[in-house]
Amino acid sequence: MRIAKAVRKTKETKISSNVNLDGAGNSNIQTGIGFLDHMVEQISRHGLIDINLKAKGDLHIDDHHTTEDSGYVLGEAISKALGERKGINRYGNAHIPMDETLTRVVIDLSGRPYLVWKVAFTQKRLGEMDTELFKEWFQAFAQAIGANIHVENLYGTNNHHIIESCYKGLARSLKEAVRLIPRITDKVPSTKGVLRQDG
């Protein structure tokens, strides 16, 4: 069972997450930020990853620390669940349409974190959440999981559709990347023999 837990406690946030990479898409997300909860639920449902994520942060200041740190914790939990990353597909990609919007997300669980973010918004906020924080969440997630993640909104006008297609794209590409390949269960999919951040 590819199950793991990650915890982060600072003066700004206290966050814990449990994940099951071979789950059924069940989730319990409680960050205190309604829109962020809705987005992380997309990762669970469309990535078929069971996710429990609970966060308490300094929301009386703003949403920045809670948003960023929840990305770190979820990424760390998934990275732990992957272990040595033996037998995984490693790469994943998805094109996600939502009405007038189309977004492409590509991921490589290489152990080398890097985010390419080509997403623009015409609104400063969605719900109570600043739209500039979405990039911060993806950056933290990429860093903690150890992955190249490329997110590009190809076109679209509705800001809600744009960001939701980004999270659904991450979910679908992640689902493909963590998938186990029966023929290589004992091998790491790299000529280096390792997939980790210091490899």
User: For each of the chain's 199 residues, which pLDDT tens digit applies?
Assistant: 899 999 999 999 999 999 999 999 999 999 999 999 999 999 999 999 999 999 999 999 999 999 999 999 999 999 999 999 999 999 999 999 999 999 999 999 999 999 999 999 999 999 889 999 999 999 999 999 999 999 999 999 999 999 999 999 999 999 999 999 988 778 776 656 666 654 4
Phi, psi of 129 (to 5 degrees): -105, 135
Separation of alpha carbons 134 and 194, rounded Å: 30
In a domain, 195, yes or no: no
Cα–Cα–Cα angle for 55, 176, 67, rounded to 5 degrees = 20
Domain count, the chain: 1
Give me the sign of the Cα torsion angle 172, 113, 74, 135. negative
In a domain, 12, yes or no: yes
Euclidean distance between the first and the last CA atom of the chain, given in angstroms as a whole number = 25
In a domain, 193, yes or no: no
In a domain, 111, yes or no: yes
In a domain, 97, yes or no: yes
In a domain, 165, yes or no: yes
For residue 100, what are the domain limits?
A: 3-184
In a domain, 191, yes or no: no
In a domain, 158, yes or no: yes
Q: In what order do the strands lie in the sheet with 114-118?
A: 91-98, 101-108, 148-155, 114-118
| pTM (predicted TM-score) | 0.94
Q: Looking at residue 107, which CATH number applies to its domain?
A: 3.30.230.40
Rounded (to 5) percent helix, strand, coil in the chain: 35, 30, 35
